[in-house]
Structure 1
Amino acid sequence: MKRLINLTPSKPLALALGIIPFFLIAVIYLVNSNARLAENPNDKLLPPVSKMVDAMERLALEPSKRTGEYTFWADTANSLQRLGLGVLIAATVGLLFGIFTGSIPLINAGFSPLLTILSLIPPLALLPILFIVFGLGEISKVVLIVVGITPFIARDIQRRAQEIPSEQLVKAQTLGANTSQLLIRVLLPQLMPKLIDSVRLSLGAGWLFLIAAEAIAATDGLGYRIFLVRRYLSMDVILPYVAWITLLAFIFDQLLAFANRKLYPWHAQGGK
């Protein structure tokens, strides 16, 4: 008799098992929504699907009377622009800090303790400071994302750099490689797929910091819209927006995974 821990589902069974939890959540929601609406037709906590569809059609397909923009798409574009810029800067800075502190002992001794301390500071606690220093515009929102996820990326790349076998560095040096050549031709190619993995892991935190910044000081964006309509208990808008954010996060995660497999197939094979 096989033990449960040794049973591996086939691909069709794995797909079915993955769908079942979502199906159960939908059923639980519909049952509770119908029950609440039966008691109170004006209940806003669990709106029917039809009401959410109507709200999203209004926001996505009808231009705003105030701005003329399609609110849903404008919110999405503005949030993605902030998130993309913040993640790009964080990945670049994190890669540089990580590769230098992870491979050069003198830099490690000077900056590794600082990096550790910075990673322990709650980024949201810095939000008032960022607003004071950078104002309430776009810069402060992007900086919050950068401050929030850069230490994680940097420390992960630092650890990955330290895991590279020293034999590779010794062999390269015996062939005449200098420090810059070691960094660019030996370490960097091996760390780039690790960087993509780090970015994937930090995206959830990036979304958190984006939503927090938009909720406090913004005039557009997905986070701004959610916190704007909460005062009216507009769950027919909040729930679809949350679902949309989740879908976007999933799509970006899969795109990064796909890019990693295509650009660095040896890394994907080694991870199996």
Structure 2
Amino acid sequence: MRLINRHPGRAARLFLGSLPFLILVVAYLVASAARLADNPGDKLLPALSSFAQAIETMALTPDRRTGAYLLWSDTWASLTRLWAGLGIATAITLVMGLAIGVLPVMRALLAPVVAFASMVPPLALLPILFIALGLGETSKIALIVIGVTPFLIRDLSLAAAALPREMIVKAETLSASTWLIALRVVLPQVMPRLLDSLRLQLGPAFLFLIAAEAISADSGLGYRIFLVRRYLSMDIIFPYVAWITLLAVAMDLGLGGLRRLMFPWWGLEGRR
């Protein structure tokens, strides 16, 4: 049997999927042991016991100054900004993406400016946002919106424009208005694509969030990472990075599960 036709079973997939992570863990333990053997006070690659102590301090011990559990307060602050930015971006995408994908006039009017906006590096706009909107929450949320919205709009509009023309013609023969076609024909077809696009934009959204928090914030995951870096506190930085990754993975799985629950028909043709 050719290798291209060999499909691993469930146990094999689980083993193969876990293997890279096991290799990374073993490589870290070996490198950490080697550095600590040469210098017991080395902070670059802390031992696992240092991670456990740092997690206990950040997640399970109230802060002496504020009384808050820092990991959880930082997580809530960051997720609030992230969810607000993604929510606003999704609302804008639904309106503009449908308009560009369905209406030729709006496509001619808005598609060029959206394509242009998607080429602007969002992080380059961060100083402008801080000057124009201040150092509060608005500028951080705006960076996320500016960073992900153009890509979501382009993807949604392309998905809407790619729908079979026969669907639109059939709706028109049934006397459906443009508004009704957009809401009852196009929107249900492109919503699964929007959820998948949101999954793909989670990484950039977290990047913009961390960058904004690192420059100006008094709470948040990015703020904490850049606060403790001056003390070379890798025992805190590594767990925070791992926690951010887990949050992103959980959100990705949640959006994927929501898409499968709401639109179970999506992708069935490609799996036949």
- TM interval, shorter chain, is over 0.9
- Tell me which residue corresponds to 2:268: 269
- Tell me which residue corresponds to 2:37: 38
Counterpart of 1:102 in 2: which secondary structure? helix
- How far 1:81 sits from its partner (Å)? 0.5
Counterpart of 2:166 in 1: which secondary structure? helix
- Tell me which residue corresponds to 1:217: 216
Is residue 29 of structure 1 aligned with residue 34 of structure 2? no
Superimposed CA distance per residue, residues 223-256 of structure 1 (whole angstroms, 9 cap, x where no aligned partner): 0000000000000000000000001100100010
Q: Please tell me the residue identity of whatever aligns with 2:80.
A: Q
Q: Please tell me the residue identity of whatever aligns with 2:210.
A: I
TM-score (norm 1): 0.98
Correspondence 1:1-40 to 2 at 5 A: 2-40=1-39
Measured in 1, the distance between the counterparts of 2:104 and 2:143 equals: 30
Measured in 2, the distance between the counterparts of 1:240 and 1:185 equals: 46
Counterpart of 1:13 in 2: which secondary structure? helix
Counterpart of 2:66 in 1: which secondary structure? coil
Correspondence 1:20-169 to 2 at 5 A: 20-169=19-168
- How far 1:157 sits from its partner (Å)? 0.2
Measured in 1, the distance between the counterparts of 2:32 and 2:245 equals: 21
- Tell me which residue corresponds to 2:195: 196
Measured in 1, the distance between the counterparts of 2:229 and 2:142 equals: 26
Superimposed CA distance per residue, residues 69-88 of structure 1 (whole angstroms, 9 cap, x where no aligned partner): 11010000100000011011
- How far 1:268 sits from its partner (Å)? 4.1
Counterpart of 1:260 in 2: which secondary structure? helix
Q: Please tell me the residue identity of whatever aligns with 1:116.
A: A
1:260·1:268 contact (CA, 8 Å) conserved in 2? no
Superimposed CA distance per residue, residues 185-214 of structure 1 (whole angstroms, 9 cap, x where no aligned partner): 000111111110110011110000000000
- How far 1:4 sits from its partner (Å)? 1.9
Is residue 231 of structure 1 aligned with residue 206 of structure 2? no
1:59·1:71 contact (CA, 8 Å) conserved in 2? yes
1:157·1:195 contact (CA, 8 Å) conserved in 2? yes
- How far 1:271 sits from its partner (Å)? 4.3
Give aligned-pair identity as a percent: 54
Measured in 2, the distance between the counterparts of 1:181 and 1:3 equals: 50
Measured in 2, the distance between the counterparts of 1:194 and 1:271 equals: 14
TM-score (norm 2): 0.98
Superimposed CA distance per residue, residues 155-204 of structure 1 (whole angstroms, 9 cap, x where no aligned partner): 00011001101111011001000110000100011111111011001111
Over the residues paired in the alignment, what is the CA RMSD in angstroms? 0.8
For structure 2, the residue ranges without an aligned partner over 5 or more in a row are: none
- Tell me which residue corresponds to 1:255: 254
- How far 1:135 sits from its partner (Å)? 0.3
Aligned length: 271
Superimposed CA distance per residue, residues 16-65 of structure 1 (whole angstroms, 9 cap, x where no aligned partner): 00011111110000000000000000000000011011011011111111
Counterpart of 1:30 in 2: which secondary structure? helix
- How far 1:3 sits from its partner (Å)? 2.2
Q: Please tell me the residue identity of whatever aligns with 1:103.
A: V
Counterpart of 1:46 in 2: which secondary structure? coil
1:261·1:268 contact (CA, 8 Å) conserved in 2? no
Measured in 2, the distance between the counterparts of 1:244 and 1:69 equals: 18
Q: Please tell me the residue identity of whatever aligns with 1:257.
A: G
